[in-house]
Chain A
Amino acid sequence: MLQVRDIAIAFGGVQAVRGVSFEVGTGELVGLIGPNGAGKTTVLRMLAGVLRPDRGGISFDGRDITRAAIHRRARAGIGLTHQIVRPFRSMTLVENVMIAAASGSTASPWQALFHVQRKAARDKAMGLLDRLGIAEAADRPAHVLPLGFLKRMQVARALAFDPKLLLLDEPLAGLSYTEAARLADLIVALNREGRTIVLVEHNIGEVTRVVGRLLVLDNGAVLAGGAPREVMARDDVRAAYLGKMSRQNE
């Protein structure tokens, strides 16, 4: 479904990602991990189109999308949640999800002008909020809600336009232990329903528990890839990832 070929990007002389290649098959749940600054979020943002790679290419569903605009990738079926929450601040929680659920009516402004029906979008949005466990806050203004609600709202919003591929950027960060475990379970459930998911996450425990395959980035390059247990048992991965973490903790 997704082919990434040798993508690289530099920010003002700093090579953030240096030639990353990988593939994600339909129905896979892939975890993208690595120490801080490894380039995980940068890779995800290149997949979503927020950043354009300096070289390399990205294909989705057999189409080259390397230069495609963000909204075109979204319409092609790529959903993204942001690491730092980005709610539509003037909207309520449910309205945040409704606008994504109504994507069939918002493809062009002129089309959107002739669509006023909200019930279908609201029903769908309420269903998703319920699934994420935040339906009780549906009609509260998004900007007053705590991080845990907004993190989950972003997942609902990304799901609302039925993407084939879901890119989740640290969805568990900032959630309590129980909330994180519940959301991780939901991610598994979504995957079992056939949705392809790429998950960037710091919460190693949850990632290794839920994903089918791990991809470890270090210093802007792929260090290892494969089944979670095997990957985490590798010495180079432990040295690069856990080693750095334990050094940070000291």
Chain B
Amino acid sequence: MNAYLVSIATFASLNVILALGLNLISGFCGQISLGHAAFYGIGAYGAAMAAVAGVPFPLALLIGTLAAALAGVITGIASLRVREDFLAIVTMGVGFLFLGIVRKAPWFGAEMGISKIPAAPFDKTGLAAFAMFSAVALIALSLHVRRSWMGESFRAVADDEDAARTIGIDVAYYKLVAFLIGTAAAGFAGGLYAYLTQLVVPDAFGFVQSVTILAMVVIGGIGSTWGVVAGAIVLTLMPELFRFINDYKLLVYGALLLAVMRFSPAGMAGLVQRMFARRV
């Protein structure tokens, strides 16, 4: 396979992991997050710094994942008392806070980021295969969560927190677990990103990246695992297939988000469902 296709397959897998992580927090558990890229970044910086310090690949990846999950749980705790638009603002704030810290702190490489990250123990094709395998594993986990009583409880929390409490659901605990799993997935993707590019700079994890991940979730169909997977793949491929989109990425994503909200709030998954419903 040529290097270009390998690279696209890897990025598509990373985006699937990121989008499914956010879907768990926002789609399943109803907690809107506009700062998902920060956890992607924390994973990338965590793994990169560990790798540069000589930590082997699996352990560095684990460090990135755990660092992001820890930050996710802390964000979750700080967000327990806020909902909806306030939560969106808090999570957006976390994103800016992360950027502010890594941009200014010399031990994070400031604007230059972290370079000379050692290569993964396998070549680019191997890394792509590993990323794809991880994405598939997360798809399986996501489908399982949805089927389990954890998924149903998330749904209850997303629908009405107070009503969920009165039937014995520990709303705070469920929210924290949603943040934990979702941000751990982002951290894992970040670790893979660090090994893939061997260079991490703050700009890769900014607000635009957070909105891009959210766009994948919303355009795919918030709450639907397969919809979100499709959304992540389509939005990864689109700028590659139509070069001009790359220059107007935000404009196109914004227009798509508006169109989805207006014509199919359940995203691509909703469209497909409606098509099948009509045929029956």
Contacts and interface: CB of A to CB of B under 8 A. Distances in A.
B148 A88 contact: no
Contacts of A107: 168, 170
A89 B163 CA distance: 11
Interface string B141-169: 00011011110110110111011111111
Contacts of B159: 87-91
A110 B170 CA distance: 12
A50 B166 CA distance: 9
Contact of A95 (B144, B152, B169): B152
B169 to A, nearest CB: 6
Contact of A86 (B145, B153, B160, B177): B160
A102 B150 CA distance: 11
Interface in A92-117: 95, 98-100, 102-103, 105-110, 112-116
B148 A161 contact: no
A229 interface: no
Interface residue range, chain A: 35 or more
A70 B156 contact: no
A80 B168 contact: no
Contacts of B148: 112-116
B163 A86 contact: yes
A110 B153 CA distance: 11
A131 interface: no
Contact of B153 (A74, A82, A112, A157): A112
Contacts of A86: 160, 162-163
Given A116-B147, A116-B148, A74 B160 contact: no
A100 B152 CA distance: 10
A49 B171 CA distance: 14
A105 B147 CA distance: 13
Interface residue range, chain B: 20 to 34
Contacts of B248: none
Contact of B170 (A71, A91, A99): A71
Given A95-B152, A109-B173, A116-B148, A71 B168 contact: yes
Interface in A26-75: 48-50, 69-71, 74-75
Interface in A156-174: 157-158, 160-161
Contacts of A116: 144, 147-149
Interface of B: 144-145, 147-150, 152-153, 155-156, 158-160, 162-171, 173-174, 177
27 contacts: A69-B165, A71-B165, A71-B168, A75-B168, A80-B166, A82-B162, A86-B160, A86-B163, A88-B159, A90-B155, A95-B152, A98-B152, A99-B156, A99-B169, A102-B149, A103-B167, A106-B168, A108-B170, A108-B173, A109-B150, A109-B170, A109-B173, A109-B174, A112-B152, A115-B148, A158-B167, A161-B168
